[in-house]
Structures are given as C-alpha cells and as structure tokens.
Structure 1
Amino acid sequence: MRTPRRTAIAGLALAGLTLTTLSVAPAQAGNPNNSAKLRKAVTVDGVMRHLEAFQAIADANDGNRAAGTSGYEASGAYVQGVLEGAGYDVTRQNFTINYQEPGVVEQISPTPTEYVSNTATGSGEGDVTAQVTAVDIALGLGNASTSGCQATDFAGFPAGNIALVQRGACDFGLKADNAEAAGASAVIIFNQGNTTAEDRNGPVNPTLGTFDVNIPVAGVSYLDGVDLSDPSTTVARVFASDIEQRQTFNLIAQTDTGRTDNVVMLGAHLDGVMEGAGINDNGSGSAAILETAVQLADVNKLNNAVRFAWWGAEEIGLVGSTYYVNDLKANNPTELDRIATYLNFDMVGSPNYKIGVYDADQSTYPAPAGVPIPGGSIETEDVLTDYFDSVGQPWVDTEFSGRSDYQAFILNGVPSSGLFTGAEQPKTAAEQALFGGQTGVAYDVNYHAVGDDIDNVNAEALDINSDAIAHATITLAQSTLAINGKRSAGKSGNIHPHHEHDEEVAA
C-alpha cells in the first residue's frame, strides 16, 4: 500500500547539512496517467529543487559528490528520502570500489609548475619523479595521434623514465600497459589538439578498464602536454595516492503497480567527479528521473511497472550499473528478460546544449566495433524522437557508443536508448542553427571541472528533456508493444501485477 506523500522534506540531516529550505515539488492534482498530464506535473522548477539540494550537499562535503565520499552518501540519503516521501520502497545495493584521492602532475625543472590533472581510474599507486620521454605524439590542432598504441612505439624507451603519450586511436589502458611493459615508471596522457580553447585546456580523465597497470597514470590537457613535451623539460613528477577499498551503492525504486515481468527501467548516475559538484554531470539526469518518479507515484494504475535506478561509481568505470546487471545474471538470471527496455539519462542540461538521442538505428553514427544494439533499441529511440517530432522540438543523433550506464544492459541483450546534451566536444554550426548557443564551444565547458555547479545548467535544455523523460516513462509504462510485442492492457486497460502472466503476444 502506498504511504501518503510528504510534500516537503524539512530538517533532513545529510552528513552535517540540514536542508531546511529545500523541498520536493508539491503533488499535482489528479491522476497524471498520460503524457500531457505527466509532462505538466514534472516541472523544471521541481527538477531544479533537487539540483539545488545536490549543490548544497557538495558545498557541505569538500565540494564534490564523488563515489566513496561523504558527498555521495549525502546525495543518496537525499534521493532515498524524497522517494520514500513519495511512497516508494527503496533498495540500497552495496558494492565495493577501489578509491583514490586526487593525484598530482607537476614539472620539477626547469620551471616548477603544477598542472590540472586527473588520476586514471585503475592507476597504480606511487610517487615518481623522473625524466620525461614523449612517445610518438602528434602536436598541432586537429592532428590525430596513435601515440602508445603499439609496443613498437616504445622502441628504445629509456627504462625508468615517465612516458608522455597522447590520447587517440586506442584504449587508454593499452597505452599505459605498453608503457609499463617498456619500463616506464609512470605515464602522463594528454589530450588531442582539438580546435577550441576549451578542449585544448581540458585534462583527460582516463579509465584503464581491464588492463592491469601497476604504475601511476594521470591525464592532463593538450596544452600542458605540449609544455611537458618541450625538450627543455627535464624532470616531472606523477603522484597517485594509495588505493583503498570503500563501499558505495546504487539506489533502486519501483512503482507498486504494473506487471513485474515487463518492467520499464530508467537510470542515471548519481556520482560526480572529485573536481566539482557534478551538477550537470550527472545531477541533471539524477534530478530529472527523481522528479519523474515523484510525480509518477500519483498515477493510480500502470500497465507495466517502472523501475528507477541511481547508479554509483559511473565516473570510475560504470561500476554500479555493471554490478547491478552482473548481480541479476548471477542470482536471478530470468530478471534481465523481465526488463522490457532501459533508458539512460547522463547530462541532460548542458549549458551549450544539443538535444541528442542515442542513435540506435545508426542513421548518423555507425556503432563502434563491439557495441551491440539489441532488438527493440530502435523502437525505444523512436519513443523519444517521435515525441520530439510531435511537439516540433529539433533533435540530433548522438553516438550509440555504450559509454555510459547502458553499456552493461546492451551487452546482455536489453533494448536501450537515452538522452544526452553533450560534454567536452564543440558544438557544430548546424547544431547552433537548431538549438542556439555558440558554435565551436564545448557543449559543457565545465565538464569534469570545478565549474560544474548549479550555474552550469541550462534550464531550457533541462525543461525540454524532463518533458521527454516524462513522456517516455508514461508511454512505455502503458505499452511496450512496439518494443517487445507484449500487450499489457486487458479490457479495463490495466493489468494487475498478480496477473502478470496473462499476456497476449502480438502477431
């Protein structure tokens, strides 16, 4: 039985922060059981209230909400409190991560300089001061680099030196693995020379994936890499802190009506990076699905249950969503088959936004090698694009790359799609014509940086995408026929969960 909704959460203590002035959006009158009603109920003001809470939490917790920190714990407590106030039972799924404090990259001589850097996820620990050797780098704007992708790139590499390699052409982990095999004591990976100052100044945030690298690895910007590659640079330092085991978590909540063998699932990662509050990346997606869940709780009956997930540790390698899918496979393998489709929302309020929909039909971007597109993904994409077309909202494709929390789902055959307003790449002239903003400037100039705060969110983009999320949620909660051929409506238009096997399969 759903408990009465609390319309405000006052005096909520979160890691020393008392949120006495922040509240969830008030309940909307009626039963928002269609697209128009739910879109009206899910307001951008309601979404912004959650973002203000996330900002206040970051402010009270060392400026960030990264996995394994008090800021993440407080973010989870806030989301859980709002959901329980709306009547949901919330599951906290715990798992363990490798946690590292931020590291350091600095030039020792000839000019002492500390660079803005990111310790690579999966880096070894250590504190190395040594000579720097550039490895097959490609300086110049727009030049592509294969630096470090081949073991032969390191022919003659002086063992014990720090390898300076450039982003491009292959996995970060392969570059670092090749460097370690060649005797490098540490690795610095710097960005490519893209055409905008924002890209050139932005540090790489490397993830080493499955490669077993035991030396310190860090990422810096293109311009800092150029500085380090200068022959006059003789000595640099790379520090990566000790790795410790910490516990973090996913949050899962599901509606109490709708058939549970044909679940519609929405997810967004709740964690940010160490560098800032993570309000666009990804407070925006987390807040949008949170407000959708709050308002959906007022629908009397749904044909299909809707499951919401707030993922932990996305920023250190999609850890939380991968853990969730693997746990289902190991402990209840039939559960994945019960997920009709998964929708992912990662950065939906970028300041120089595009309205991007994952390109499941590959009409603009071929999927990268090794990225499957499960059947039903195109139809899930259509729910979003058809909605945008119906209201005259321009949209563009964004690559179906698997580089967010839908990866584990598509690797296991679950149809997927989602929305994305862009990160560090520059906006094109064609996109500027559709959405306004600035050509040649990154969609989010504060991507993975301290500037990703409450002022880094475009309310118009957030409003557009919140409406699309609400539309997709209620549309799929009422029918997934186009996606998987399952009918959920009987004569009354609804089916109760305990009648979940009474399905008709479309011809």
Structure 2
Amino acid sequence: MRNTLRRGLGVATAAVGLMLPLAVAGPAAADPDLAGLARTVTAPGVEKHLRKLQQIATANNGTRAAGTPGHAASRDYVAGVLKKAGYKVTVQAFPFDFFMELSTAALQRVSPDPRTFTPTPPDNGSLGEFATMTYSSSGDVTAPLQKVDLLLPPGPTPSSSTSGCEAADFAGFTPGNIALLQRGSCDYRVKALNAQAAGARGVIIFNEGQPGRTETNRGTLLGVGVTIPVVGASFATGEELARPASSVVRLRTETVSEARTTHNVIADSRWGDPNKVVQLGAHLDSMLAGPGINDNGSGSAAILEVAEKLAKVPFRNKLRFSFWSAEELGLLGSEYYVANLSAADKAKTKLYLNFDMVGSPNYALKIYDGDDSDATGAPAGPPGSDEIEKLFAKYFDTLRQGHVGTDFDGRSDYGPFIDAGIPAGGLFTGAEGVKTPAEQALFGGTAGVAYDSCYHQACDDINNINGKALALNTGAIATAALIYGFGRDLPGPDTRPATVTARTAAPAAHDDHTGASSR
C-alpha cells in the first residue's frame, strides 16, 4: 500500500494546483497558496492514522465497533490528534442499544426425527439454515414447538402473512413453548414481543416463502427489550419445522444485548465565520467482526490527515470535522447529532461532505449524484448538492481520471443531513456490490468481483486498502476543504449581497469546477 499511496497522493495534490486558483471567487492576491496547502496533506500522515487504527483493533479483540474498548480507544486517538492540532474538540455522548453474538447459535429438532440445523456464524459468514436475530437475548431452551397463525403455502405477494402481529394470534398459546412464526406484515420486534408476552421461552421466525423471501432472514429486533432467544430461519427450515403435528426443539443463543453509551468526535477550526460551517464527516466505528480499516478507517484517516495539516489555515468559513459512532447500527451517531442541532445551527451548516470507504481494493471512484443526473430515479440531494458533485467531478477531470456516479441510497451518514435540507455530497469506492466491465475499463481491477471482498469481515485490515484509490480521494478531500473553506459563494442558493454577486458573476462564468461532469 505504502508506495502506491505515496505516488498516488503526490500526483493528486500536485494536480490540485490546476483547479484551486480558479475555485475561490475574489482577488487572487488576497488568498493563500491553496495548491501549496493541499500538498501538505501527505501519504505518511494517512498511513500513520491507518496503522494506528489497526493497532487499536489488534489490541482490542480485533474490533473497533461502537460500544467496545476498541472504539473508545479510536475516539481518544482521534480527539487527541485534533486537540493537539489546535481544534476545538467536542466529544458528544449518546445512548444506543449494543448487541453482540458471543457464540454460534444452535437449533435442533429433538423429536420426531432428530435433526440439527446448520447455523449462521456470528462473524457474518455464509448463511446457514437459521441465524440469531440482532438484539436477541441469550437462552438455552428445549420445549414443544407451537405454530402461530402460519400461512402455508405462502400468500401470492410479500407480507401476506400476519403471523404473530396481533396479541390475539397467541390465544391458546401454551406458556413455556417455543413459538414458530412467519415473516410478514409487521416488524420482527412486534412478533417477538407478542410471543414474549404470551409466555414463549423462544421464537423462530422463518422467511415468508415468495420469490426473494426464501433464504435465512438475518433480521433485527430494532433494540433491546426482548428477553428470550429469537432466531430467523429460511422458508425451507420453517416449512420443515411446521410439518409434524407436534415436535420438540432445542434453541440456544448466547448474546449481549444492552443499552450502552458511545461518542461522536466533533472538531471546529479556530478560524472562519461561525455562520458558515463547512462540515466533513466519516464514521469511526467498525463492525464487531473486524478492524474496519477500509470501512471506515479509510475515510476517518483521510479526513483526520486533512484536518491535522490544515489546522492553522485562517479559513474564511468555519471547518468542522466529524467522526461518527454507531453508523454500522443505522447511522445512529449522525442522526443523534443532526436531531440535536437547533434550527439556527442547521441554517449555519452550509454543506456536508461524507467519506465512507474511500480505499476499496477493487475500487471504482464514485461521486454521490447530487441531482440524479444519472437518471436512476434515486432521490436527489437538497439544492446545492449538484454543485458539490460537480466540484469532485472537476477534480477527477483535472487529473484525467475517470469517475462514475453513486446514488444517495441512505446507507451512510449523509442521510440525516439531506433529511435536514443541508446540501451534501462525497466520495465512495464501493462495498459488497460487484464491479462492472465498464468500471474495470475505467479503473482496472476485476469485473464480476466485489469492490471490497472483505466488507464487514475480519479481513478488513491494513492489507485491505488500495493505495491509489485512497490517495486520489484524499487529494479530493483536501481540495474540497480548501475550496469550501475559502469560498465566498458556497453551494445552494446565493445569499451574498447583490453587489458581491454582480462583482463575481463574470469570473464565475469561467469557473470550470461548476461545469458538467465527464460521465
């Protein structure tokens, strides 16, 4: 990784000089050497942070997941670097529901015809015939299996089954039994809590059975509060368990499901207009299964290096660097942050840039599609998001480097900002999706293979980084931070005084960073 990252970042930051001078409206003499500042962002700095995150994971059972000592150590490292650099750092605590599967679950039919079903291991390995549901409690229960309002054969369309969705479904349920339920029209949590209230000692919820709803459902109970073991099963497993008129099964899970506290790290630059905040973010937490060096040590290390090297720059606008926690549990950190902003503070946040997985081994250089210009039908971002997309496109175009679009699909921390009406954008190099032949032609690598074959696995370690992708994206992050940090006209509606608008209108017409993408 090292040589590739150093060569790539050298090319990326050197090329920044071709676009930065044109990107900031106003007299050139009044602005610092932006290209020179971009070149202070170095490969050794990014490497240093990545290796530290790997060391932290190695020292903490191989993980940096929210609610674990590995995440706490990651938080302290990032906060320490930012404080030393001179930022005003806030460590924002918030509650969340923690879940960890401690061992592989067991499901056996004791009678009739004893049989042991194939489990799904807790490390996100290949799916078995059943899997522990997220936020299941622990338990080891052997008891009669009782069917609850099953729809077999399944209905013609998904969510035809209402099994377990109403307390009335459990009329006549024998307390102490294990409930057999079917996926359908209500949340798994509703089903599990209804079964628990009826006295069930365990729950098996099998998939509904229509095309696309047959494999093992690795579902979630949406939070703590279920005190019995709950597993999801394939349709075939459920159908087999339902076949005998009566049977006895054993169900065992071993988990931790409890309320915990975790932290976001927020760092504000000492300079800049507090009424014009340019916010950059990356999630710092990994999955429990691994160290999360690409997902998302890559984004965290990149913005940390940019923040550290630009700490003493007297920006016109205030820069805010954000390191989110509990993203892997559903964007919890960024949701908490945005939900607790006042209306005034939301108005001061002029844009949000998100960097989640920017060094995937079999990468594609993907820019979030701010206006659905790719015509995929995905939601566009708030006004101004298209301008952010074009800035990143211009950066890659300046390098004569191909790029493609990626949708705002709600899977990363831009989501809460978009929902709040804040212009957003960012970069992504792919996760479990499969690289296309067209992308292979643009970026190299291997078509038909996942962008990151170690996604959410233990092998997402320091060797799971493509140095060139990380270098190009780090250069783009530095470029965006400088352009927006000094920019007089930020994305979104132009709120400058009319005299300023008129004075800068002519130069802006030749400002290529707002031009069309090459895609």
TM tier relative to shorter chain = 0.7 to 0.9
Match of 1:12 in 2: none
Match of 2:383 among 351, 375, 387: 375
Asked whether the 8 Å contact 2:164–2:194 carries over to 1, the reply is no
Query: In the aligned structure 1, how far is the partner of 2:66 from the partner of 2:47?
Result: 22
Unaligned runs of 5+ in 1: 1-27, 139-144, 195-200, 492-507
1:361 aligns with 2:371: yes
* Unmatched runs of 5 consecutive residues or more in structure 2: 1-12, 14-29, 110-114, 125-130, 501-519
- 2:139 match: 127
Check the 8 A contact 1:305/1:477 in 2, yes or no.
Answer: yes
| 3-state SS of 1:461 partner | helix
Counterpart of 2:438 in 1: which secondary structure? helix
Matched, 1:324 2:337: yes
Aligned residues of 1:132 and 1:236 also touching (Cα < 8 A): no
| Cα offsets for 1:391-421 (capped at 9, x unmatched) | 2111111111122111111111111111111
Provide the rounded CA distance (Å) in 1 between the counterparts of 2:32 and 2:321: 18
Shift of residue 359, structure 1, vs aligned partner: 1.4
Structural mapping, 1:68-79, within 5 Å: 68-79=67-78
Distance in 2 separating the partners of 1:372 and 1:163: 39
By how many angstroms is 1:38 displaced? 3.8
SS in 2 for 1:292: helix
Cα displacement (A) at 1:161: 3.9
Residue 356 of structure 1, CA deviation: 1.1
Cα offset, 1:176, TM superposition = 5.4
Q: 2 CA distance for matches of 1:41 and 1:345?
A: 20
1:198 counterpart residue number: none
Alpha-carbon distance in structure 1 between the residues aligned to 2:204 and 2:36: 54
* Equivalent position of 1:106 in the other structure: 106
Task: Tell me the residue number matched to 1:313.
Answer: 326
1:455 aligned to which of 437, 455, 463: 463
In the alignment, structure 1 residue 393 sits paired with structure 2 residue 378: no
Query: What's the CA shift for 1:65?
Result: 0.6
- Give the 3-state SS of the residue equivalent to 2:351 in structure 1: strand
Shift of 1:474: 0.7
Match of 1:348 among 353, 358, 362: 358
Correspondences of 1:181-196 after superposition (within 5 Å)? 185-186=202-203
Secondary structure at 1:91's aligned position in 2? strand
CA distance in 2, matches of 1:83, 1:388: 28
One-letter amino acid of the structure 1 residue matched with residue 135 of structure 2: S
Equivalent position amino acid for 1:108 in 2: Q
Distance 2:492 2:83 in 1: 31
Displacement after TM superposition at 1:186 (Å):
3.2
Q: Distance in 1 between matches of 2:430 and 2:117?
A: 35
Question: Map of 1:410-489 to 2, 5 A cutoff?
Answer: 410-479=418-487, 480-487=489-496
1:151 equivalent to 2:161? Answer yes
Identical amino acids, percent of aligned pairs: 41
**Deviations along 1:468-492, whole A, 9 cap, x unmatched?**
111111111111434342459x99x
How far off is 1:93 after superposition?
A: 0.8
What is the letter of the counterpart of residue 438 of structure 1?
T
**Cα distance per residue 1:37-77 (max 9 Å; x no partner):** 34422223321211100010011111111111111110011
Which protein is bigger by CA-based radius of gyration?
2
* Aligned AA (2:99): Q
One-letter code of the match for 1:311? W
CA deviations 1:282-339 (Å, max 9, x no partner) are: 111111100010111142x21111100001111112111111111113xxx2001000
Q: Confirm or deny that 1:262 pairs with 2:272.
A: no
Q: Per the alignment, do residues 178 and 433 of structure 1 end up closer, same or farther by CA in structure 2, a change over 3 Å counting?
A: farther
Matched position secondary structure for 1:481: coil
Tell me how far 1:232 sits from its aligned partner: 8.5
> How much has 1:366 moved relative to structure 2?
4.0
Q: Flag the 1:61–1:146 CA change in 2: closer, same or farther, 3 A.
A: farther
- Summarize the alignment of residues 62-101 of structure 1 with structure 2, pairs less than 5 Å apart: 62-101=61-100
Deviations 1:7-33 (A, max 9, x none): xxxxxxxxxxxxxxxxxxxxx9xx995
Conserved? CA contact 1:189–1:217, under 8 Å: no
* Change in 2 beyond 3 A, CA 1:252/1:305: same
Could you tell me which amino acid in structure 2 is paired with residue 454 of structure 1? I
Query: How high is the TM-score relative to the length of structure 1?
Result: 0.74
Aligned partners of 2:140 and 2:182: how far apart in 1?
13
TM-score (norm 2): 0.72
Structure 2 counterpart SS, 1:427: coil
- Equivalent pair of 1:55/1:453 in contact (CA under 8 Å): yes
Structural mapping, 1:198-237, within 5 Å? 206=219, 216=229, 225=234, 228=237, 231=240, 235=249, 237=251
